Amino acid sequence: MKYQIWECKIVVPEDAVFPEGFDFPPRHAAMQAVEDAGITVIDCFSGWGSCLTDTEKEIVDYNVQRRCSSSRDC
């Protein structure tokens, strides 16, 4: 069987604290959205600990700088 893969990386602050099993709600929401569009989900893998490509890291660093310069969240 041939298949397609959609990838999503959610970036949060390093010191964020997650409740036990917190990876389930976003994974379930993504799967539900795909199934609601009438597409069968064969499987789903997720978890905290992924890595960014160099380009993704540059984009995230830029967005953090923009957010910090316009907000007091940093």
Taking only the tens place, the pLDDT of each residue in 23-55 is: 899 999 999 999 999 999 999 998 888 999 999
For residue 60, pLDDT over 70 is answered with: yes
For residue 73, pLDDT over 90 is answered with: no
Question: Which residue matches tokens 């010191």?
Answer: 15
For residue 1, pLDDT over 90 is answered with: no
Beta carbons of 19 and 58 less than 8 angstroms apart: no
Beta carbons of 35 and 27 less than 8 angstroms apart: no
Enter the pTM of the model: 0.74
Name the 3-class secondary structure at 35: helix
